[in-house]
Structure 1
């Protein structure tokens, strides 16, 4: 299986698509530097204690306070608070090998015994702001690398449960215990399986440098501030998914291209050769056939082979997926066999959709009814196999007699929603004319001498129609600018945007 990464970026966003054998499997849309991303560390202030919830609300600079439960304080919270006070006074170095740790807090204690209103506290984002809720945070900070995770003020060495071989677990523990610095605990990740001591040492050294960066960021301040940023999401995503199946990484942004190339060379020397820079006129996602796949994958209805399809509905409480056989034959003789065949296809597509849309929380899948318990078991096993590729924590229950499968999936960031419904051109009446006037007005106010206008293909045809005279030529003459009209398959009829020559939105 060939795996490719396609990254289309500008100064304020990055869209990341993971393709397997050319088929879109995951899509991540990253916002600019002001977003609250998982892994970022903030120096926040306790605004309010909610003793009934045994939690605190912490101001980290977001419009809504972040939620911190007692169980997310971590057993070493007293050591962290002591470290913070000393660091703010300039009395603590990054080296914590001789740091006098405090006793661990009780496993089932009260948050009021640990924190009080107005306390400053170091916290890390574990769940990004979703809907009306602020970010979810933890006070048990950790720094993730490719092979290991560094945990300050802990001496514990643990191994991912996905590494099942006892001999390999013991080998990795022995290696890490021999190289880890005093004052730090280490979690050994699944991808560390089979790695050498040199690989683990290099990863650990990189994390120690990041710890020193975090330490330098702790400064006295009267307002919440981000003191450490997780690496850009493209590199973080690559850190978690990169394997020997990767055949190419294509990026259309020079700065991000350089960062990813440097990161890849650091984690696997020689692998940076697969990173390619794209500077074609056609948008990268359109060139790589990602736009077309997005339109086919993000609608309410998702097609599957041989006429079968899914209907995906979202409510405040859960996501519901309905499996339909479409126009497949439904005679009594082969009804059970058809149901099994469609349900197996659906299990594969549902697992893909969960990753693609990053759907979290409770999901209920209404499979086509099957009388055979053996067939229901086969679909359940197929779903479990497909979900093994999902990095988010999840739990799957067997299919009930009513054909329903319930599962939960970890939610750490807002679900990816993309509007794919097209407007009916016959119902638009004056809308295209109004759209043209709006775009022209925006262009007239821009200072750039070269502007790229991204629009739906129908609108592009309207703007460029005519050999000697067209709307586009009229704009160029009137505004004295070079205008390039770019058709975008993924855009809805009235969607548009203006970009400069460096692919930055203007």
Structure 2
């Protein structure tokens, strides 16, 4: 499997596309005016302590106060966590790191357990522990990495070495590359340590890398053959970063000067547009319906036009298998997080159920975000979670429709007509008028003059006043006004 990373840069935004075998798998967007803050370190001020929630609100200089739970401050774990009022008090300065961007009406999520990621590892200044990514399964490789870190730490001779977590990218990495990473994160930590001593509260102490550079740190792996950047200025910055920290991938960098927009190479613009739609078509003729709400995301699998060749159970199994692969891709592409409920088509055969779940798990192994399949409920629904740190593609690119207020539905023209009749009756009882003028959309006025014309005539007789109509081109179907003349 080959991968390619395309980076599209404009003054307003940076967009990154991860393409596997010519198919878009992930897209990341960072707007210049609304950069994400995950990974940033702030010196904040505690503004409110909530004993009932075991949490506190911290002012880090944003419009909304950020949220921190007692477990993210305490050195203890589980039930042993101290009461929040014993850990912090109002007005206290607190050095914190953002773990989740503000999403919707919720403020940012924080932790005091700071960490600094680099190419191969994550440095934890306050935790003397070496961990290794669970995705590195070879025990011999895990032991090799432990010994390399121990040797590097000893060679550096630092009294307080802190701890490290070896990332998946460290698999097969050379000792000198890991040592370079350790030196880099330690230098960075020394700068942050000095800054937090002199900074006021609230203030920003450390800002995470821009999306273009973060992409190299987080997404590049041995399968990535090319990294194409369409901005010469950004290409030069990335080249400098790579020379200092990732010299092994210099030959994969490429400045793309083509007249054809870089995202047109693999039809990425069309894919992004499709990723905003509810319905996802499957090659077999079936389809997915994806609904994103504040509480959770639901995914419904339907057979659609696919009827199979042998029997119904085979049809259902084939559709579900294809859906499992499509769902894993859509989760990455749309950056969906939190609780996810999948309603596969009901399967009678338990072996088929296991195979579909296994297919989903296997496809999710390539996901950079942490996922966890909890199992199948009594109703046959698959429950899973996917770590949410940044806004989904839908949240970045769209807003609630002003006509339906995000409901995705609107009242029928018939319903609006009957509302108008009731409003005219209310007005006739409350005020004396010579006539009434109804201002509404074209579809509603058409219905009033056609299907409802008999009801309009009856109403005019009842209130003993004429009713006139006027089309307002800018009104949505649910909007109307009744004006007294």
Query: Which bracket does the TM-score occupy, shorter chain normalised?
Result: 0.7 to 0.9
1:408 aligns with 2:381: no
Q: Residue 2 of structure 2 corresponds to which residue in structure 1?
A: 2
1:387 aligns with 2:364: yes
Distance 2:316 2:53 in 1: 46
Question: Any gaps of 5 or more consecutive residues in structure 1?
Answer: 77-103, 421-506
Q: Residue 144 of structure 1 corresponds to which residue in structure 2?
A: 117
* 1:342 CA drift (Å): 0.8
* 1:161 CA drift (Å): 2.8
Distance 2:377 2:171 in 1: 37
Residue 392 of structure 2 aligns to a residue whose secondary structure is coil
* 1:277 CA drift (Å): 2.0
Residue 218 of structure 1 aligns to a residue whose secondary structure is helix
Q: 1:136 to 1:168 in 2, by over 3 A?
A: same
Q: Residue 274 of structure 2 corresponds to which residue in structure 1?
A: 296
Q: 1:151 to 1:221 in 2, by over 3 A?
A: closer
The correspondence of residues 193-342 of structure 1 with structure 2, limited to 5 A, is 193-218=171-196, 220-269=198-247, 271-329=249-307, 333-342=310-319
* 1:221 CA drift (Å): 4.8
* 1:216 CA drift (Å): 4.2
When the two structures are superposed, what TM-score results if normalisation uses the length of structure 1? 0.73
Distance 2:79 2:300 in 1: 46
* 1:7 CA drift (Å): 1.2
Distance 1:172 1:209 in 2: 21
Q: 1:401 to 1:223 in 2, by over 3 A?
A: closer
Q: CA RMSD in A?
A: 2.5
**Partners of 1:376 and 1:399 within 8 A in 2:** no
1:349 aligns with 2:363: no
Q: 1:32 to 1:224 in 2, by over 3 A?
A: farther
Paired residue for 2:82, among 69, 87, 109? 109
- More deviation, 104-113/11-20: 104-113
- Could you say which structure has the larger radius of gyration? 2
| Per-residue deviation, residues 43-86 of structure 1 (Å, max 9, x unmatched) | 1111111111111111011111111111101529xxxxxxxxxx
Distance 1:116 1:175 in 2: 42
Q: Residue 79 of structure 1 corresponds to which residue in structure 2?
A: none
Residue 398 of structure 1 aligns to a residue whose secondary structure is strand
**Partners of 1:377 and 1:399 within 8 A in 2:** no
* 1:375 CA drift (Å): 0.5
The correspondence of residues 156-167 of structure 1 with structure 2, limited to 5 A, is 156-167=129-140
| Per-residue deviation, residues 126-180 of structure 1 (Å, max 9, x unmatched) | 0011000110010111111121211113322222233334433333222212222
Distance 1:71 1:193 in 2: 31
* 1:29 CA drift (Å): 0.8
Residue 247 of structure 2 aligns to a residue whose secondary structure is coil
Distance 1:165 1:282 in 2: 44
Q: 1:289 to 1:205 in 2, by over 3 A?
A: same
| Per-residue deviation, residues 395-449 of structure 1 (Å, max 9, x unmatched) | 11334564421111111111111469xxxxxxxxxxxxxxxxxxxxxxxxxxxxx
| Per-residue deviation, residues 187-210 of structure 1 (Å, max 9, x unmatched) | 222222232321210111111121
**Partners of 1:48 and 1:117 within 8 A in 2:** yes
Distance 1:364 1:330 in 2: 26
When the two structures are superposed, what TM-score results if normalisation uses the length of structure 2? 0.76
Number of aligned residue pairs: 393
Q: Residue 402 of structure 2 corresponds to which residue in structure 1?
A: none
**Partners of 1:7 and 1:15 within 8 A in 2:** yes
| Per-residue deviation, residues 449-481 of structure 1 (Å, max 9, x unmatched) | xxxxxxxxxxxxxxxxxxxxxxxxxxxxxxxxx
Q: 1:321 to 1:153 in 2, by over 3 A?
A: closer
Q: Residue 41 of structure 2 corresponds to which residue in structure 1?
A: 41
Distance 1:329 1:188 in 2: 48
- More deviation, 236-245/383-392: 236-245
Q: Residue 171 of structure 1 corresponds to which residue in structure 2?
A: 144
Distance 1:273 1:165 in 2: 29
Residue 45 of structure 1 aligns to a residue whose secondary structure is strand
* 1:222 CA drift (Å): 4.6
- More deviation, 145-154/59-68: 145-154
